[in-house]
Amino acid sequence: MAEKPTVMAVQKALESAKKRNFTETVELAINLKDVDLSMPKNRITDDIILPYGRGKSIRICVIGGGELVQKAKDVADVVITADELQVIADDKKQAKKLANSVDYFIAEAPMMGVVGKRLGTVLGPRGKMPKPIPPGQDPTGMIEALRKTVSVRTKDRITFHAPVGTVSMSPEELAENIDTILKRVELKLEKGRMNIASSYVKTTMGPSERLI
């Protein structure tokens, strides 16, 4: 179970946020200290599966051919064949629209090079380069995991954010998700918790509540 102080902080953040006419995302902000992020080896790039998921629909696109496409049709939000990939890649506007509308991409392993060459300039800067999958493998398990995944990227900034769910989730669920991310981030840091200056939880438009 999540640590009680985390639950209390989340509860306070939810209670102090004004009610909106849309479902707000709940975000975790982490401020690092004594970490030189100008050195790429010190940067954090990680995909973390949240125990209670994201609390909203996460769109997955599968790029492949033959057997994989058939298996993906019922479980993925978007399925793209090799021929369709070429058409999309030739239309920059369409390629950007696809990149912005999809959260995660999966590509058949032999097609990774082609996807990188044709869509890399669009997907790369957005941190959405595809995850490889062996030819013909059932993508169901991978897609289910990605729907509960959050991507954590520090780049060269000591302050970074990660969505941990939505206001429709319980404080306990959100706290469990937060603790999962914090523990994973600590493992990536040379001095663990000592490299975290502070962390906060807030709704999209609400005030911040300090965790650490």
Q: List, as one string, the DSSP characters of 165-204.
A: EETTS-HHHHHHHHHHHHHHHHHHSTTGGGGEEEEEEEET
85 pLDDT band (50/70/90 cuts)? very high
CA–CA distance, 132 with 75 (Å, rounded to integer): 17
- 1 has a pLDDT exceeding 70: no
Looking at the fold, whether 113 and 162 belong to one and the same domain comes out as no
Give the CATH number for residue 128.
Answer: 3.40.50.790
Query: Percent of the chain, pLDDT > 90?
Result: 94
Looking at the fold, whether 47 and 70 belong to one and the same domain comes out as no
Report the domain count for the chain.
2
pLDDT of residue 99: 97
pLDDT of residue 66: 87
Q: How far is CA 186 from the centre of its chain?
A: 18
What domain range includes position 38?
4-55+149-210
Looking at the fold, whether 17 and 75 belong to one and the same domain comes out as no
Structure tokens at 162: 């990660």
Q: From 93, 118, 146, give the residue that closes a domain.
A: 146
Give the CATH number for residue 178.
Answer: 3.30.190.20
For 44-84, write each residue's pLDDT tens digit: 999 999 999 999 999 999 999 989 999 999 999 999 999 99
Looking at the fold, whether 49 and 78 belong to one and the same domain comes out as no
Looking at the fold, whether 38 and 66 belong to one and the same domain comes out as no
- 3 has a pLDDT exceeding 80: no
Looking at the fold, whether 22 and 80 belong to one and the same domain comes out as no
